[in-house]
Structure 1
Amino acid sequence: MPFVEAIPLNSETVLERAAEAVEKRPVAPEPRPDQWQYTKTLNVQPADGRTTTDESWLRYDGKQSAGWDMEGNFRVRDVPPDPGDDDLSPQAYRKKLLKLPTDPDELIAHVAGDRHWIDKPREEGVPKVVAPADVRAYGILALYLKQQAVMPPKLEAAIFRALARISGVRIEQNVKDATGRTGLGLYWSTQSPRRYLILDPRTYRVMADQTVWLQDEVHDGRVIFEKGAVGANVVLATGIVDRAGLAR
């Protein structure tokens, strides 16, 4: 495949174009509680480039999940209720998103001040670090962008406009995902290694969540990840289906 150079773009212009495009989408009907969110992804390990393809199904109400086990058997499992707010069902996530403001400035203030993300439990034994408000806002908005199956068009447009107001946000053209597709690479400018959300240049939907090491990562004198290493979660297919086992 020929080399394609990634080109920096004016992030405000690109993100406004994205907002204008997505807010014209029709509002999708809400899935039934017994329908399933289907996702097919390609996962790339940065240490050795090993790839795996995964298909998963999650009931819209979150009560069951399905997929293939290590022996190749298709299984449907009950999902116990989550008392926290970290692993919401598609149905619950939609309700959360519908409560968010669609004014870009209000949206930034809301997510930056959301105590859930400020107080969110950290890994045991690791000192708690609260990121600066702009970094936190970017991370939360990027997370919401990946919830495309339940995203109201007006909110998605507000997210793009909010991102355009955050000074550290950058966009590159011709960023290649792990399957060779090129898109628009959205990233936080000071993040290292660089973590891209790669957007489809026509629909502005997320194609991949991909991390690229711009230099060797060294711990205790040992190279953990080499410069040029790539870790990725690439979306191959996604959508709502009527039963577990069906694909889009």
Structure 2
Amino acid sequence: MNASDDARLDSDGRADTPRRLPGLSDGDLPFHGHDRIREYVMRETTDAPRPARVRPRRRMALLLTAGAATCAVAVAVTLSISGSDEPPAAARPEPAAVQLLDRVALAAQAAPAPSVRDGQFLYTRTKGHSTALSETKGGGMTAARTDESAEHWVSVDGSAGTLTRNHEGEKTDPAPDKGEATINGPTYRFLESLPTDPDRILEVIYADARLNHGGDSGSTTGPDQEAFVAIGDLLRTMEAPPGVSAALYRAAARIPGVVLVPEATDAAGRSGIAVARVHQGERTEWIFDKNSLRLLGERTVTLKDSAWGKAGTAVTSVAIVSRGITDKAGQAPKQ
């Protein structure tokens, strides 16, 4: 690809549609829950004064159970789905992003379904970091990274809950009551029950997003951003059935403001291509391998110089290192 084919990023972090998508030949976690920290970012944007108190640490949600949790459409249809309060410029998904998500969906649908039994565990090993932002004695702000690399064991049917092992030790999240698995606390069996039609699954996602982040909720995230984050969390948390994964990717292509990022690097140092959404000065990116179109990880990048770091800093980032199935929590799958 020559220089004229490169995609350019404007001041809002949106990518111009490239003439050629790398890895897309015909033959390519801050995750959710940082409203209080985003308030600080918005104060910097507007040059409003900061209150003299320490901000809580910012941590990414590597698992929904621990942390919370495609085709282009007409603008009128998109807005009626989302009920978005985003500015009009964010209303139409970028065609290049829609094309990439459609190809990712095709690859996901072609993958073999994992063979699982009730009582087993879906294993995921991740590598990543979050950023802590705190106020100094002099009234400034300082940022420090925290290692968020971890192993996760999620009960297939929810009967045994979830085990997380990281640098702090082990933590067990209890099993949900029977039939109580949700978008924000899924099991594999719950994911199997989701519709494989993109429009229907998007309705499920938005119903939850509006409930917790709608106009009367007091949330600064909003339903469109929350829907994008929720889908990313579902895809990253565990390996979903192929038809459901494909539907989620195609549903994401209907969310207002989705854009393409031609080059992105995950927390394991792997380069790829990304689909992203910008919200309040941050760009949440899903990073895919350019050849296999496999999901590599997710990161959130700041788009302006701030206490978080220089523009382009990955404030939070998580890479999916390995996945598998095991009979016992705490036990790695056989290679």
Task: Please indicate the TM-score interval, normalised by the length of the shorter structure.
Answer: 0.7 to 0.9
CA distance in 1, matches of 2:287, 2:175: 32
CA distance in 1, matches of 2:258, 2:167: 39
Deviations 1:135-190 (A, max 9, x none): 333232222222442x1111211122222222311122221123321112121134
* Structure 1 residue aligned with 2:88: none
Q: What is the CA-CA distance between 1:194 and the residue it aligns to? A: 1.4
Q: What is the CA-CA distance between 1:110 and the residue it aligns to? A: 2.7
Of 186, 189, 195, the residue aligned with 1:95 is 189
The answer as to whether partners of 1:6 and 1:174 remain within 8 angstroms in 2 is no
Q: What is the CA-CA distance between 1:207 and the residue it aligns to? A: 1.6
Q: Is 1:118 the counterpart of 2:204 in the alignment? A: no
CA distance in 1, matches of 2:332, 2:282: 36
Q: What is the CA-CA distance between 1:208 and the residue it aligns to? A: 1.7
CA distance in 1, matches of 2:249, 2:147: 31
CA distance in 2, matches of 1:79, 1:45: 21
Q: What is the CA-CA distance between 1:111 and the residue it aligns to? A: 1.8
CA distance in 1, matches of 2:183, 2:205: 15
* Structure 2 residue aligned with 1:80: 174
Q: Which structure 2 residue ranges, 5 or more long, are not aligned?
A: 1-5, 9-14, 18-95, 132-142
Report the RMSD for the aligned CA atoms in angstroms: 3.3
The answer as to whether partners of 2:123 and 2:324 remain within 8 angstroms in 1 is yes
* Structure 2 residue aligned with 1:235: 320
The answer as to whether partners of 2:155 and 2:187 remain within 8 angstroms in 1 is no
Q: Is 1:144 the counterpart of 2:242 in the alignment? A: no
The answer as to whether partners of 1:169 and 1:187 remain within 8 angstroms in 2 is yes
Deviations 1:123-145 (A, max 9, x none): xxxx7227544333323222222
The answer as to whether partners of 2:129 and 2:149 remain within 8 angstroms in 1 is no
Q: Which structure 1 residue ranges, 5 or more long, are not aligned?
A: 122-126, 218-222
Deviations 1:34-53 (A, max 9, x none): x3332222222433345454
* Structure 2 residue aligned with 1:62: 160
- Read off the aligned partner of 2:235 and give its amino acid letter: L
CA distance in 2, matches of 1:17, 1:64: 32
Q: Is 1:108 the counterpart of 2:199 in the alignment? A: no
The answer as to whether partners of 2:183 and 2:234 remain within 8 angstroms in 1 is no
CA distance in 1, matches of 2:322, 2:164: 16
- Read off the aligned partner of 2:194 and give its amino acid letter: L
Count of matched residue pairs: 224
In terms of fraction of residues, the more strand-rich structure is: 1
Task: Describe how 1:84-233 pairs up with structure 2 within 5 A.
Answer: 85=182, 88=185, 93-114=187-208, 117-120=209-212, 128-129=218-219, 131-149=221-239, 151-217=240-306, 223-230=307-314, 231-233=316-318
